[in-house]
């Protein structure tokens, strides 16, 4: 169920701007969980950003950025320096928005592991939503390393897999992974809809295909299969919306009333 002050369910449905967003709304409207939004703008921002996360996932998949363990991480030296531990650190004098976009333009120059990929995708969606100026202001010292991220990329973790929606990040766990290949202990993956997920290093696959791949990387003789955990990670959409400074670009319309974020 979705509750937005002053809007009927029919009006809420009309806020969706694409089939992808209509799919998100249908799941929320049919849920026993009550989703409350302070305004139409808040709901529209979330739908838009979830779409951007899915788009960034597909763009990374197409970018040719490679999977690598931390030891072998790499980045375009025009924009980034490499830390000894495999962290990718923005060079002094480089605009964060430029450095981040280069990953998706010159992906063949980059390699990183799957948690780092998830953070990059969330940064890219945030950049697309709030624009260059706000992103450069709030994220001036980017470090891309594992699950480390700037405090202004505020994330929320829940444990209700039934409520996972497009743009959320899930975790496929391989509890009995082969110790010789610890990078296969699990896979972080973005929900794309229609049982499709993006996991860096695996690409876009069904949930069953991800589990099958992990199961092939278990220790010899293992009888403990990989599984999808109930952990769901997503941005704090309301917080990120406030970073945009309300730029005034129109994102939705109901009748003669326009809503901007």
Quickly list H helices, 140-228: 207-215
pLDDT in tens, 84-103: 999 999 999 999 999 999 99
Residue 256 has pLDDT above 80, yes or no: no
The pTM for the full model equals 0.91
Tally of CA atoms within 13 A in the half-sphere of 215 that contains its CB: 12
Give the whole-angstrom CA distance, residue 49 versus residue 32: 23
Give the whole-angstrom CA distance, residue 218 versus residue 200: 19
Share of the chain above pLDDT 90, in %: 93
Residue 258 has pLDDT above 50, yes or no: no
Burial of 14 (0-12, 13-18, 19+ CB in 10 A): middle
Residue 259, pLDDT score: 42
Residue-averaged pLDDT of the chain? 92
Q: Cα-flanking dihedrals φ and ψ of residue 80, to 5°?
A: -135, 150
Q: What is the mean pLDDT of residues 233-260?
A: 64
Q: How far is CA 46 from CA 24, 128, 175, 261, in A?
A: 10, 13, 33, 11
Residue 43, pLDDT score: 96
């Amino acid at each position: 169920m979705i509750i937005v002050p002053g809007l009927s369910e029919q009006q809420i449905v009309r806020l969706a701007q694409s089939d992808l967003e209509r799919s998100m709304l249908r799941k929320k409207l049919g849920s026993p969980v009550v989703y409350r939004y302070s305004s139409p703008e808040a709901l529209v921002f979330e739908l838009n950003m979830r779409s951007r996360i899915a788009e960034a996932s597909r763009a990374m998949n197409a970018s040719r950025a490679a999977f690598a363990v931390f030891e072998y991480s790499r980045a375009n030296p025009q924009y980034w320096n490499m830390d000894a531990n495999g962290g990718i650190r923005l060079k002094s004098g480089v605009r964060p928005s430029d450095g981040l976009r280069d990953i998706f333009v010159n992906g063949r120059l980059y390699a990183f592991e799957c948690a780092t990929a998830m953070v990059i995708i969330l940064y890219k969606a945030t950049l697309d939503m709030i624009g260059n100026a706000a992103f450069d202001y709030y994220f001036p010292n980017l470090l891309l390393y594992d699950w480390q991220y700037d405090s202004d990329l505020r994330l929320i973790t829940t444990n209700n897999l039934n409520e996972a929606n497009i743009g959320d990040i899930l975790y496929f766990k391989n509890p009995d992974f082969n110790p010789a290949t610890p990078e296969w202990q699990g896979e972080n993956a973005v929900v794309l809809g229609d049982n499709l997920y993006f996991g860096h290093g695996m690409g876009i696959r069904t949930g069953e295909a991800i589990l099958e791949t992990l199961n092939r990387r278990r220790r010899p003789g293992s009888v403990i299969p990989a599984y999808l955990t109930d952990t769901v990670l997503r941005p704090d959409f309301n917080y990120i919306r406030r970073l945009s400074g309300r730029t005034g670009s129109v994102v939705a319309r109901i009748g003669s009333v326009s809503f901007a974020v």
